[in-house]
Amino acid sequence: MLTFTIGTFAIALNHLLLISALMLATLVGWRVAKRGGENPESVLFSLFLLGLLAARVSFVLMYWSYYSDDWVEMVDLRDGGFLAWPGIITLILGSLVYGWRRPALRKPLSAGVVTGLLFWGMTSLSLSVYEKGTRLPDITLRNANGEVVQLADYQGGPLVINLWATWCPPCRREMPVLENAQRMRPDVTFLFVNQAESMQSVSTYLATQGLNLDNVLFDASGRLGQAVGSMALPTTLFYQADGRLINSHLGELSDASLARAMEPFDNTQTRKPTCLASATC
């Protein structure tokens, strides 16, 4: 399960865990403050934002080559580009500064920060272990010729699967990014699995946008999204040659966030899968 969905609302589980950690930290800090001390609620929220800022700035600096020509993308948080450790270090240092300046905050703030970090760390680790134990679903799809193909036909090399639809704005915005990555990384197989749209409408859209995608597949009933536990679009999945999930991304990808997600493929010495007669490459 990659997302938590209620009706039309969907949120990535890792984002939900982060918000839950902040709420738990605030609750614990408030409870400790009732026994003596200052309520750290506003300080915890400020530190949370400061940590996010540090995590984002660190990510932009690390992948500066992708952002140097487009300053707008630096502040576009929709790509999910954050580095956790700089954010954590900044949050801890900020807590120490607040505690030094305001003694009444020390115990409630410390309790809240420690509780929040422990909760986030343990649950994030558990989610990561669960995700990496997930295998490529054994389902059938249809290719652009209307032929039935097995998803397993594409196993045997690094594999990126993008779940998308033409009515989805972030799907449309990220499509040129994925098309460029497909061209730059011939060692990786990219599958563009359309969700519940007709072949004609998808073909028309790709033609009008001038998009050249190698492997466009069709999932009329959305079974792949159900199988991987993500009904939100766009969802991008990253599989090793043995069919094991190593990464996932909910939402729009930028050049930088896609490059980071594909880093595990850089040291992979495996062949790109040879498509069977039933598959179109």
Same-domain pairing of 125 and 157: no
35 located within any domain: yes
Euclidean distance between CA atoms 108 and 41, whole angstroms: 9
Q: Which of 89-98, 173-182, 245-254 shows the lowest per-residue confidence on average (mean pLDDT)?
A: 245-254
9-12 and 3-6 strand pairing: antiparallel
Predicted confidence at residue 192, as pLDDT, reads 97
Same-domain pairing of 144 and 260: yes
Same-domain pairing of 177 and 160: yes
Q: Which of 9-13, 50-54, 106-110, 270-274 shows the lowest per-residue confidence on average (mean pLDDT)?
A: 270-274
Predicted confidence at residue 72, as pLDDT, reads 83
Looking at 131, 154, 175, the residue that finishes a domain is 131
**For range 141-163, the mean pLDDT:** 93
Of 246, 233, 226, 61, the residue nearest 158 (C-alpha): 246
Q: Which helix (H) or strand (E) holds 174?
A: helix 169-184
- Assign 164 to helix, strand or coil: strand
Predicted confidence at residue 281, as pLDDT, reads 47
281 located within any domain: no
Q: Which amino acid is at 87?
A: G
Using the structure block, give the residue that is written with the tokens 């750290």.
40
* Cβ-contact 214, 143 below 8 angstroms: no
Same-domain pairing of 215 and 255: yes
11 located within any domain: yes
Same-domain pairing of 117 and 151: no
Residue-range definition of the domain harbouring residue 56? 3-131
Looking at 84, 99, 131, the residue that finishes a domain is 131
Same-domain pairing of 117 and 178: no
| Mean of all residue pLDDT scores within the chain | 90
Rounded to two decimals, the pTM is 0.87
Same-domain pairing of 183 and 232: yes
Question: Does the pLDDT at position 270 exceed 90?
Answer: no
Q: What is the DSSP letter of 96?
A: H
Same-domain pairing of 9 and 122: yes
Question: Does the pLDDT at position 57 exceed 90?
Answer: yes
* Cβ-contact 109, 43 below 8 angstroms: yes
Question: Does the pLDDT at position 274 exceed 60?
Answer: no
Q: Determine how many CB atoms are found less than 10 A away from the CB of residue 176.
A: 13
273 located within any domain: no
Same-domain pairing of 100 and 207: no
CATH code for position 158? 3.40.30.10
168 located within any domain: yes
**For range 91-115, the mean pLDDT:** 96
